[in-house]
Amino acid sequence: MATQGLERIQDSLGYLVLTEEGAVIASGGDLENDERRANYFMSLAQTTSKVKLSDRRDTFKRVSVVWEDIMYVITVSNHKVYVCKRPYAPQDPILA
């Protein structure tokens, strides 16, 4: 299945699965049929992949975009772009 289990992520609010060209293969939750956000995330993935991380040909594998209470995790794998929308609840640092 194209979603690779994204619909089963416990706290997921929505997901998108995109082809290398940016076409939506699968979607659900808050991101269901959200072509506007799909285009935004595809543009972000394409731009980020151009950033040189080292002398090798490494590119990013995962990017998190965080707002006050929401985060989008963007992962590239097997020639697809996976986007998962999740609640963001930062944890306070533990002071020793």
Residue type, 86: R
- Alpha-carbon gap, residue 57 to 63, rounded angstroms: 17
Contact (Cβ atoms closer than 8 angstroms) between residue 18 and residue 39: no
**Confidence band (pLDDT; 50, 70, 90) for 72?**
very high
The answer to pTM > 0.95 is no
The predicted-structure confidence for 25-48, as pLDDT tens digits, reads as follows 999 999 999 999 999 999 888 887
Q: What is the mean pLDDT of residues 59-87?
A: 88
| Domain around 83 | 6-87
Number of domains comprising the chain: 1
CATH of the domain at 79: 3.30.450.30
Contact (Cβ atoms closer than 8 angstroms) between residue 75 and residue 3: no
**Position 42 in a domain:** yes
pLDDT over 70 (residue 4): no
